[in-house]
Amino acid sequence: MRDAKIIVMAIPNARRFRISNPDGSATATIVAVLPKGTDVQAYLADATARFDWKGYAESQQRQFKIRVGQQKQRKAK
Residue 41 scores a pLDDT above 90: yes
From CA 40, how far away is CA 56, in angstroms rounded?
Answer: 23
- pLDDT score of 72: 58
From CA 53, how far away is CA 19, in angstroms rounded?
Answer: 11
Residue 22 scores a pLDDT above 80: yes
**Interval 47-59 mean pLDDT:** 89
pTM of the model: 0.61
CA dist 14 to 8, 10, 34, 38, 44, Å?
14, 8, 8, 14, 15
How high is the mean pLDDT of the chain?
A: 80
From CA 58, how far away is CA 48, in angstroms rounded?
Answer: 17
